[in-house]
Structures are given as structure tokens and as C-alpha cells.
Amino acid sequence: MTEYTEKVIIVEGLTDKKQIKKVIAEDADIVCTNGTLGVEKFDELLENYDLDNRDVFIMVDEDNPGIRLRHQLSRELPHAEHIYISSDYREVATTPENILAAELAGKRIEVNPIFLI
């Protein structure tokens, strides 16, 4: 099996994407689902981002819509790794950068070291 260096992080919205972009230090695609995914939208993401052949990480909010999306993506992308945020923060976008950096680094995603202090 080939190991891919390219990573894809799936998030719910644009504010989540912006928060993650602040802390990562490697080239990874951050894909916004904008909520739940229909079959056509998912198939489009699968093809456009070659999700079956890349390292995929799912990082969604710890609320009901985020949990439903996580379950849906788990079924469609069983190889994906999950990155969880504390329910204390509930949303990726409101999670402090140092907490995000620690979670991302724990999944072998390179982060800017200033956020790990």
C-alpha cells in the first residue's frame, strides 16, 4: 500500500477552515462541507480531492449537526482519522489555537510550534 504525504482535513465551515489554517505549518487541503452532505456533493468531494487515496482527517464541531456529519463521513470514508475537540469549546472555530495545534500535532499534522507553548 502506498503512503500518501498529502493530507485532507474535512471541516464544516469557513470559520473552522480559517482557524485551522492559522495553526498548521504544512500544505494540506482543508475542505468545507457547509453542513450535511448529499450524495452528489459527497461524490464531487470524493472525486475532486481523491479522498480514497489520501490521508483524510475529520474535524467537526461537537454539536448535533457536527456529530451527524462525523457519522456520515465515517460511513463513507472508513479510512479517515478523527480529530476531536473538547465539548467545552463545542466548535472548531472557537477552540483556542494551542488546543487545536495539540490535537492536530497528535495526528501527525505539522503545526506552527508557537502554538504548542
pLDDT, tens digit, 9 for 90 and up, residues 20-62:
999 999 999 999 998 778 889 999 999 999 999 999 999 999 9
DSSP state, residue 117: -
Q: Domain limits of the chain?
A: 7-108
- pLDDT tens string 57-116: 999 999 999 999 999 999 999 999 999 999 999 999 999 999 999 999 999 999 999 999
Name the class of domain 7-108.
Answer: alpha beta
**What pLDDT, on the 0 to 100 scale, is given for residue 37?**
82
User: The pTM is what?
Assistant: 0.91
Residue 2 has pLDDT above 50, yes or no: no
DSSP state, residue 2: P
**What pLDDT, on the 0 to 100 scale, is given for residue 5?**
53
Q: What is the DSSP string of 37-97?
A: --HHHHHHHHHHTTGGGSEEEE---SSHHHHHHHHHHHHH-TTPEE----TTT-SSTTS-H
Spatial distance between the Cα atoms of 84 and 111, rounded to a whole number of angstroms: 16
Measured CA distances, 98 to 7, 13, 86 (Å): 20, 20, 13
Residue 4 has pLDDT above 60, yes or no: no
Spatial distance between the Cα atoms of 90 and 111, rounded to a whole number of angstroms: 21
**What pLDDT, on the 0 to 100 scale, is given for residue 113?**
95
* Cβ atoms 13, 34 nearer than 8 A: yes
